[in-house]
Amino acid sequence: MASFAQQLEQLLRAARAQGLVDSGVAEQLTALATERERERGWLSLGGVLGRLGAAVTMLGVMLLIAANWRHIGAGVKIVGFVLLLGGTHGAGLWIEWTGRPYRRFAETLHFLGAGLFVGGLALVGQIYHLPANPARAMLVWLVAIVPLAVLLRSPAISGLGILAAWLWLHFAGADSDSPLHIRGFTSYLMLSIGMGLALLGVQSTLGRDERRIRLVMRSAAQLMLFYGVYMLGFFRRFSEGEAAVSTGSIALPLGALVLGSAGVVLGWTRLAPLVPWLRARVSLLLLVLVATCVAALLIDLDVIPRGPPVRIFEFGTSARFAVGTVIVSAAAWVLWFLFALWLVVYGALSRQRDFVNTGVLAFGLGIVTRFIDLIGGLADTGTLFVLGGVVLLGTAWGMERWRRAVVARIEAAT
């Protein structure tokens, strides 16, 4: 599929041949489109190398201080770190205020400064022997870099802020002295899913001028939701046994799902902006995902009975899982494939290859995963293959009908 700049160039060539535009205007429009296309992506070679260099620099500073810990005074450590922190942000601001053509490098310096801040927290804690509290440290880091992300409109710092929030939620749940303490993989999984839902909704409320930040938030949301739905497909496995069953407070994981749902409600009118009629479909899928997550959490906490055990074939042996955990796992499987199909359809209609490729890869990964997860002996595997083939044939027939209906609707609208 040709890029926008290439499509515009072909269109202008045809328009110039028909005398609709002159050569000067066509060249200016082509140059403008090419420049916008060049600036379109969040990642570039310079950006990747810059962020990699910032990460290596942060690690190097920490290792150098650690290697010479006894030979550097406490005051020298703190003053040196403050100067380094202020110098990186100061250099980045100077580049921006003077209008230098190194905007991406300035963002890299701000990214370095935001990362060094958490190193400074660890430095102060080590110097004054403060009690270790990872949750509090992540919260301070989050509070410190969020204003930078807002004021500087920095996608890189926005990504660090998302990481800090994710770490804070998990460290807060792991704090045994906290009233929000949780145990069990399911509860921690809900934190990622809830945060992914919130990011998906909030990013859609941002304006076009913040497109790069939207891309970071949307990518993080997709990563968290794909991870959450994928792992939820194994719910019947990790929800068995005393060590795996969730215990502790339900407030943190349930609160994450509630906040995630609120975020989606806040931005649902702007979801799928290029194909509005698909908005209701994705909203329904997200609603079913939240309901499945709440059911999984309540089953894991024994609020909802697990139900009687049922036999599930796998690798030629038989395993027995509670019927409730099997239903949740099956619901996650269905959601995974429906999300993948939605991405393919949305990407095709909005002419965004990334969505199409992601959906196709997700669909293929789901098929391979479910095959390995459910494979049994010859008879069981043969049965699975027959059922799987029938399902694939039915899906192909349904998608063809859906495609024809979409095409007919587009032609009717035009």
283 vs 74, higher pLDDT: 283
In this prediction, residue 43 carries a pLDDT of: 47
Q: What does the domain layout of the chain look like in residue ranges?
A: 45-178, 182-309+327-338
Q: Mean of the per-residue pLDDT values for the chain?
A: 76
In this prediction, residue 395 carries a pLDDT of: 67
Cα dihedral 396, 397, 399, 402, rounded to 10, equals 170
Those residues with Cβ within 8 angstroms of residue 127's Cβ, 6 or more apart along the chain or in another chain: 74, 77, 78
pTM, entire model: 0.72
pLDDT at residue 2 tops 70: no
Q: How many CB atoms lie within 10 A of CB 285?
A: 17
Confidence of residue 402 (pLDDT cuts 50, 70, 90): low
Helix (H, G, I), strand (E, B) or coil at 320: strand
Q: Which residue has the tokens 């349930």?
A: 254
In this prediction, residue 316 carries a pLDDT of: 45
CA 49, CA 30: separation in Å to the nearest integer?
A: 29
Lowest mean pLDDT of 30-39, 74-83, 259-268, 286-295, name the range.
30-39
Backbone angles phi, psi at 248, to 5 degrees: 90, -155
| Phi-psi domain of 318 (left: phi exceeds 0; alpha: psi -120 through 50; beta: other) | beta
pLDDT at residue 334 tops 50: yes
In this prediction, residue 197 carries a pLDDT of: 92
pLDDT at residue 292 tops 90: yes
Residue 373 CB-density burial (10 A; 0-12 exposed, 13-18 middle, 19+ buried): middle
Residue 304 CB-density burial (10 A; 0-12 exposed, 13-18 middle, 19+ buried): middle
Q: What is the pLDDT of residues 235-258, one digit of tens each?
A: 988 877 655 566 677 888 888 899
Q: What is the pLDDT of residues 357-401, one digit of tens each?
A: 788 888 888 887 877 776 654 455 566 667 767 776 776 676 667
Which two tokens mark 365?
Answer: 């990964």
Residue 161 CB-density burial (10 A; 0-12 exposed, 13-18 middle, 19+ buried): buried
Q: Cα 242 to chain center, whole Å?
A: 30
Helix (H, G, I), strand (E, B) or coil at 317: strand
Helix (H, G, I), strand (E, B) or coil at 166: helix
Nearest one of 186, 174, 201, 166 to 293, comparing CA atoms: 186
State percent of the chain over pLDDT 70. 67
In this prediction, residue 38 carries a pLDDT of: 46
Confidence of residue 407 (pLDDT cuts 50, 70, 90): low
